[in-house]
A and B are shown apart, each in its own frame.
Chain A
Amino acid sequence: NAGVTQTPKFQVLKTGQSMTLQCAQDMNHNSMYWYRQDPGMGLRLIYYSASEGTTDKGEVPNGYNVSRLNKREFSLRLESAAPSQTSVYFCAGHGGLAADTQYFGPGTRLTVL
């Protein structure tokens, strides 16, 4: 199993541009998550999807949208990027082959100029 994969690994955007971060998993996770990680602030949950077809807001959802396209894929979209969204973004999955444990992707490092 490849586990949880994320694309791209790095991205630089200009303020106002849009982009979608992709996440896919092959561990039959029921739940999937998007986090952002900033220095001194730990991991903050942006959105999560408890099951296919459902999505819910986390701690810091403003400026983001998500789509649970199917059980495998959970994308995060920035409609109009802002410098405050410069961060490292992690996707995680939970359930299925990994009962009760979250498994993380390698992360996407996003810079918004």
Chain B
Amino acid sequence: AQSVTQPDIHITVSEGASLELRCNYSYGATPYLFWYVQSPGQGLQLLLKYFSGDTLVQGIKGFEAEFKRSQSSFNLRKPSVHWSDAAEYFCGYNAGNNRKLIWGLGTSLAVNP
């Protein structure tokens, strides 16, 4: 079955520390992959996406993600976290012609000062 797994429900990091949020997908081919961020009380904003080509993609707010086909992963990284990065992060992929996104359950990020 098609699915996305975000193994970490909640992560806490200190401001200035590096961050990696994990995402694994289950799909036969290479899907379109996305990371979205949701700040408290807000809608979802696209951070970055991977369709093809260079497996390291850059997004907004200093985030990047690396697609690893062999591991079926698309992990999100940031070298130095800011307090404003505290939010919920969702990984998803698009498979098939109907354009539906398959979503992970999200990872909640807290940032300690």
Contacts and interface: CB of A to CB of B under 8 A. Distances in A.
A95 B104 CA distance: 22
Contact of B94 (A45, A100, A107): A100
B51 A104 contact: no
Interface residues of B, number: 21
A93 B100 CA distance: 11
Interface residues of A, number: 23
A102 B32 contact: no
A53 interface: no
A42 B106 CA distance: 6
Contacts of A74: none
A102 B44 CA distance: 10
A103 interface: yes
B63 interface: no
B94 A90 contact: no
Interface of A (DSSP majority class): strand
Contacts of A106: 42-43
Interface string A32-73: 010000001111010010100000101000000000000000
Interface string A96-113: 000011111111000000
B25 interface: no
B43 A42 contact: no
B101 interface: yes
Given A42-B90, A90-B44, A102 B101 contact: yes
A41 B98 contact: no
B49 A105 contact: no
9 contacts: A31-B99, A48-B98, A56-B98, A90-B43, A100-B49, A101-B34, A101-B46, A104-B44, A104-B45
Interface of B: 9, 32, 34, 36, 42-46, 49, 51, 90, 94, 98-101, 103-106
Interface of A: 31, 33, 40-43, 45, 48, 50, 56, 58, 90, 92, 94-95, 100-107
